[in-house]
């Protein structure tokens, strides 16, 4: 159920994000979704792409520091309270969220949440048990039309 | 005898190394004779030195023991600049066969000259340097010091040839080609600055070349101060044995002092270079074991003898016997130069202290830079450290906590808390020669 997310270290200065994205564009790699966590000095770019292995190699070869992390994609109803339902389940399971981001995709009325838990495997078990709808990568990319 | 053993024996001895083992009394006698001849020659041929001796009413004949060297005036770098270009030459141009010059970052460069005899001495100390690192005939020496006006390239080149090794005169730069030739030619010895070698390790990794699988076994690193932690890093990431070498153009170039396989200080080739340790402030000569500035006198140089040269390098000398059997005295590795020291908020800081603090932390490469600025009259210091795969965390919190750990490590070493900034790989400029560690942007 786990997804391979690419994380890239970026200095917080003009043009850095574009530079990183340009490398992927040049390699003809499409991004499904991304998020950027930043401080005054630096940021970490998180991105999801079907071609994560190639993306990792592109970053490595062009001198970026990049890592691959396990994240989970959760389907939620795109309506008020949809997110709270999922967070309730996470709370009850006693899971610690490192960070998360959301995007809408393919089907109307559905959104996907990307979660980074400190322990991804434990999270898969617990969330499945509490009836949360986890989307695996095949399904995610298929439904997004990638 | 098995070939490997034979190699070891060869590595321990080269005929040129004989003076390394002179009995102390004999060495001192040789030093005194050479000192007397050098003082006489310099007095007769160099106006500046004659004038300074006359001012002190000292005559060359007054040098009756080695201790009398203390009656002679110091030579400083500015003396070489003030007499640019040929003012300190003691030989006519007919006898000079080579000249080198420094980069001259502050104004005029300094010029040094050699007679054929000077070059032969220089080559012999380079042979001794390489032999004490265990290099020998049959070795393939990749010489990545810059060829040209800088003494590093040609010094190593002639030394390696005289040793009987095969030299790859690749000079500095062109890192990808360095790695290709290192692999394809099977280089066994690399000569360059330690910071450049770290750059080579890093680039080789990116190119998919594992230095640990290459025949490379010895590195002779000099031209800039480096720390014990950097040595450790080099050992762990390349499986070679790193040797420190010391030299300066003013005295001859590389080959003034070198480490043996005991790695407990650098043996000074005292039969050609007479060392003293002085108090950097007062100039007073300090005893064995005391820390101070290294002062060197050339004992054999003909074209440009230099008396009591203030090197600005801070170290300690010991005459205790070394496990390798050499009788030459040793000085502890130069971790710092009085030139490199900077003062921040009234505290003296050496870049090497910061380096040691950074390298204590798992995963930090020795790629760092110190930037000094002044904001509303207050000095600010920022240590920029490149992020590596080992320290990278995909959470901002993880990176921030690493940053704080670095700040604490630096604070514990230098005594004040300064900012650490994590920067992307390759943003700190790689030098092919001496690494520039401190960028001082303060406007006084």
Collapsed DSSP state (helix, strand, coil) of residue B199: helix
Same domain for B316 and B348, yes or no, is no
Q: What percent of chain A shows pLDDT beyond 70?
A: 98
Residue for token pair 């499409």 = A30
Domain A2-69 matches domain A70-143 at the CATH topology level: yes
Domain's final residue, options B322, B337, B352: B337
In CATH terms, the fold of domain A2-69 is VC0802-like (3.30.2130)
CA distance B385 to B154: 34
Identify which of A10, A38, A46 has the shortest CB distance to residue B394. Answer: A46
Are B394 and A69 inside 8 Å of each other by CB?
A: yes
As beta bridge partners, residue B274 has B297
Q: Is the peptide bond before B85 cis (omega within 30 degrees of 0)?
A: yes
Signed CA dihedral, B158, B160, B165, B170: sign only:
negative
The answer, for A15 touching chain B at a CB cutoff of 8 Å, is: no
The answer, for A62 touching chain B at a CB cutoff of 8 Å, is: no
pLDDT band at A82 (very low <50, low <70, confident <90, very high): confident
- pLDDT, tens digit only, all 444 positions of chain B: 455 545 555 555 688 999 999 999 999 999 999 999 999 999 999 999 999 999 999 999 999 999 999 999 999 988 998 999 999 999 999 999 999 997 655 567 889 999 999 999 999 999 999 999 999 999 999 999 989 998 999 999 999 999 999 999 999 889 999 999 999 999 999 999 888 898 899 889 888 999 999 999 999 998 777 888 889 989 999 999 999 999 999 999 999 999 999 999 999 999 999 999 999 889 999 999 999 999 999 999 999 999 999 998 889 999 999 999 999 999 987 766 777 778 787 777 888 888 888 888 877 767 889 999 887 777 889 999 999 888 899 999 999 999 999 999 998 888 888 999 999 988 888 776 667 888 888 876
Cβ contacts of B387 within 8 Å, gap of 6 or more: A9, A65, B399, B422, B423, B424, B425
Tokens of B250: 């003013």
Tokens of B246: 């010391």
Collapsed DSSP state (helix, strand, coil) of residue B86: coil
A109: number of Cβ within 10 Å: 9
Q: Which residues of B touch A (CB under 8 A)?
A: 206, 387-389, 392, 394-397, 399-400, 421-427
DSSP 8-state assignment for residue A131: T
Contacts of A64 in chain B (CB under 8 A): 424-425
- Asked whether residue B314 is assigned to any structural domain, the reply reads yes
Q: Can you give the pLDDT at residue B444?
A: 60
The interface predicted TM-score (ipTM) is 0.85
As a whole number, mean pLDDT of residues A73-86 equals 88
Same domain for B328 and B384, yes or no, is no
A69: number of Cβ within 10 Å: 17
Q: Is the peptide bond before B232 cis (omega within 30 degrees of 0)?
A: no
Same domain for B167 and B248, yes or no, is yes
Domain's final residue, options B277, B312, B337: B337
Domain's final residue, options B306, B337, B368: B337
The answer, for A61 touching chain B at a CB cutoff of 8 Å, is: yes
Same domain for B349 and B316, yes or no, is no
As beta bridge partners, residue A112 has A75, A103
What CATH number is given to the structural domain containing B253?
Answer: 3.40.50.12780
Report the domain count for chain B: 2
What CATH number is given to the structural domain containing B386?
Answer: 3.30.300.30
Are B206 and A61 inside 8 Å of each other by CB?
A: yes
Alpha-carbon distance values, B298 to B229, B250, B319, B426, B434 (Å): 32, 9, 19, 41, 24
Tokens of A86: 């999922």
Tokens of A23: 């490398």
Dihedral (C-alpha) B395, B397, B401, B407: value to the nearest 10 degrees? 100
* First-last CA distance in chain B: 67
Contacts of A7 in chain B (CB under 8 A): 392, 394
Same domain for B274 and B186, yes or no, is yes
Same domain for B318 and B183, yes or no, is yes
Same domain for B431 and B296, yes or no, is no
Q: Which run of H or E residues covers position B219? A: strand B218-221
Identify which of B389, B396, B427 has the shortest CB distance to residue A39. Answer: B396
DSSP 8-state assignment for residue A95: P
Cα B350–Cα B352–Cα B354 angle in degrees, nearest 5: 85
B197 in Cβ contact with B172 (< 8 Å): no
Same domain for B306 and B370, yes or no, is no
Same domain for B333 and B346, yes or no, is no
- Asked whether residue B46 is assigned to any structural domain, the reply reads no
CATH superfamily ID and name for A70-143: VC0802-like (3.30.2130.10)
- Asked whether residue B97 is assigned to any structural domain, the reply reads no
B296 in Cβ contact with B240 (< 8 Å): no
Tokens of B65: 């023991």
Cα B165–Cα B152–Cα B30 angle in degrees, nearest 5: 80
How close, in Å, is residue B207 to chain A by CA atoms?
9
Domain of residue B419, residue span: 342-440
CA distance B316 to B166: 35
- Asked whether residue B268 is assigned to any structural domain, the reply reads yes
* φ/ψ of residue B344, rounded to 5: -125, 125
How close, in Å, is residue A67 to chain B by CA atoms?
7
Tokens of A3: 């997804």
Alpha helix (H) ranges present in B13-150?
24-45, 47-55, 77-82, 116-132
Domain layout of chain A by residue ranges: 2-69, 70-143
Contacts of B421 in chain A (CB under 8 A): 41
B334 in Cβ contact with B225 (< 8 Å): yes
Same domain for B414 and B393, yes or no, is yes
Are B392 and A67 inside 8 Å of each other by CB?
A: yes
Same domain for B286 and B375, yes or no, is no
- Asked whether residue B171 is assigned to any structural domain, the reply reads yes
Are A63 and B206 inside 8 Å of each other by CB?
A: yes
Same domain for B332 and B363, yes or no, is no
Strands B419-423 and B378-386: parallel
As beta bridge partners, residue A97 has A117
Identify which of A9, A63, A99 has the shortest CB distance to residue B392. Answer: A9
CA distance B243 to B232: 12
- Asked whether residue B122 is assigned to any structural domain, the reply reads yes
- Asked whether residue B79 is assigned to any structural domain, the reply reads no
CA distance B173 to B272: 32
């Amino acid at each position: 159920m786990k997804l391979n997310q690419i994380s890239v270290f970026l200095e917080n200065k003009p043009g850095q994000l574009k530079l990183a994205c340009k490398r992927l564009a040049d390699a003809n790699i499409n991004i499904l979704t991304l998020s950027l966590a930043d401080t005054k000095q630096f940021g970490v770019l998180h991105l999801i792409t079907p071609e994560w292995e190639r993306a990792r190699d592109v970053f490595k070869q062009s001198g970026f520091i990049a890592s691959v992390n396990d994240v989970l994609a959760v389907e939620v109803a795109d309506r008020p309270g949809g997110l709270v339902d999922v967070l309730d389940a996470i709370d009850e399971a006693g899971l610690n969220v490192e960070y998360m981001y959301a995007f809408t995709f393919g089907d109307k009325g559905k959104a996907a949440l990307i979660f980074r838990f400190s322990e991804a495997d434990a999270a898969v078990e617990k969330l499945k048990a509490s009836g949360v709808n986890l989307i695996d990568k095949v399904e995610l990319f298929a439904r997004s039309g990638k | 005898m098995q070939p490997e053993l034979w190699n070891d024996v060869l590595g321990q001895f080269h005929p040129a190394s004989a003076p390394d083992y002179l009995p102390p009394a004999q060495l001192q006698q040789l030093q005194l004779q050479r000192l007397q001849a050098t003082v006489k020659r310099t007095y007769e041929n160099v106006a500046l030195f004659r004038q300074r001796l006359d001012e002190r009413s000292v005559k060359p004949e007054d040098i009756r023991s080695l201790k009398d060297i203390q009656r002679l005036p110091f030579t400083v770098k500015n003396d070489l600049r003030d007499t640019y270009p040929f003012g300190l030459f003691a030989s006519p141009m007919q006898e000079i066969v080579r000249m080198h010059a420094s980069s001259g970052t502050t104004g005029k460069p300094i010029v040094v000259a050699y007679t054929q005899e000077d070059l032969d001495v220089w080559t012999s100390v380079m042979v001794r340097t390489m032999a004490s690192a265990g290099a020998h005939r049959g070795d393939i020496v990749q010489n990545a010091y810059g060829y040209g006006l800088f003494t590093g390239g040609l010094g190593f080149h002639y030394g390696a040839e005289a040793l009987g090794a095969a030299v790859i005169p690749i000079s500095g730069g062109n890192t990808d080609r360095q790695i290709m030739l290192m692999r394809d030619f099977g280089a066994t010895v690399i000569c360059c600055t330690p910071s450049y070698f770290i750059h080579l390790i890093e680039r080789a990794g990116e190119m998919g070349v594992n230095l640990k699988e290459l025949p490379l076994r010895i590195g002779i690193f000099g031209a800039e101060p480096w720390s014990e932690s950097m040595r450790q890093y080099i050992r762990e990431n390349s499986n070679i044995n790193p040797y420190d070498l010391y030299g300066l153009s003013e005295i001859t170039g590389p080959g003034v002092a070198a480490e043996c396989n005991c790695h407990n200080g650098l043996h000074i080739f005292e039969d050609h270079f007479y060392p003293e340790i002085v108090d950097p402030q007062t100039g007073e000569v300090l005893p064995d074991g005391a820390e101070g500035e290294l002062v060197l006198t050339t004992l054999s140089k003909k074209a440009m003898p230099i008396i009591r040269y203030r090197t600005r390098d801070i170290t300690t000398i010991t005459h205790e016997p070394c496990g390798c059997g050499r009788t030459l005295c040793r000085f502890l590795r130069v971790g710092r130069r009085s030139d490199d020291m900077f003062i921040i908020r009234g505290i003296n800081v050496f870049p090497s202290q910061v380096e040691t603090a950074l390298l204590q932390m798992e995963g930090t490469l020795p790629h760092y830079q110190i930037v000094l600025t002044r904001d509303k009259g207050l000095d600010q210091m920022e240590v920029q450290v490149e992020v590596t795969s080992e320290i990278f965390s995909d959470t901002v919190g993880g990176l921030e906590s690493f940053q704080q750990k670095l700040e604490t490590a630096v604070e514990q070493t230098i005594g004040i808390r300064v900012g650490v900034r994590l920067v992307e790989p390759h943003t700190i400029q790689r030098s092919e020669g001496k690494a520039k560690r401190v960028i001082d942007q303060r406007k006084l």
